Amino acid sequence: MFFDPNYLIFVMLPTLIITGLAQMWVKGAYQKWSRIPNSRGVNGQQAAQTIIRSGSIQPVRLEVTGGNLTDHYDPTQQVVRLSQGVAMQPSVAAMAITAHELGHVQQDQQNSALMSVRALLIPSARLGPSVGITLIILGLIMNLTGLATIGLVLFAGATLFTLVTLPVELDASRRAMKMLRESGLIADSQDADGAQAVLRAAAFTYVAAVATSLLTLMYYAMLVFGGSRRD
């Protein structure tokens, strides 16, 4: 099972290709548009303050965090954390990434149904890839179809999390572009084209996550139910 050529062909290789392309796209878009200043000359922190002043969202705490492209919104603490490159650079990329995270803030403040569903699925996302796969493997080794099926259900929960995350992220990007326009941060076509390019590249990483999770789920489902039919 651990050296199954079907896994290599139908899961591992497609996963490596899809995730590799996603990472290359994101890095390429970020590197390009992080070198191009936005028309307003504002860094990520200033862009966030401009959007907040426009009334698109209620005030939220801003923090600078370490790492590269580690930007995220923490709904449990009501804080947006921006990486140093985004927080400090007056680039098109910094403006777009900041607005995307504020899109999540707006979702939270407006009680987005999709965001609420995703929050409910967080335990499944944490347990599915580890506990779920462990139970699947143990069930297959011990010929316990019920145990393997429980593991498959747990992993399916993690896959569902990635499926729900995709529209959440797409909606955050849609909100980001709207807030950038309404706050006057997008001043010309270069700003708009660059922001869209960065957000599209980021969105593809979530498409890749969905694809790889579905491929893995289908593979384990084939093992579990294929084995039970042979029995």
Closest CA to 198 of 19, 20, 76, 69: 69
Say whether 169 is catalytic: no
Residues in a beta bridge with 79: 61, 74
Q: Alpha carbon of 60 to those of 8, 75, 78, 92, 152: distances in Å?
A: 45, 10, 6, 22, 39
Distance CA 156, CA 150 (A): 10
Distance CA 174, CA 177 (A): 5
Distance CA 112, CA 7 (A): 37
As annotated, the active-site residues are 101
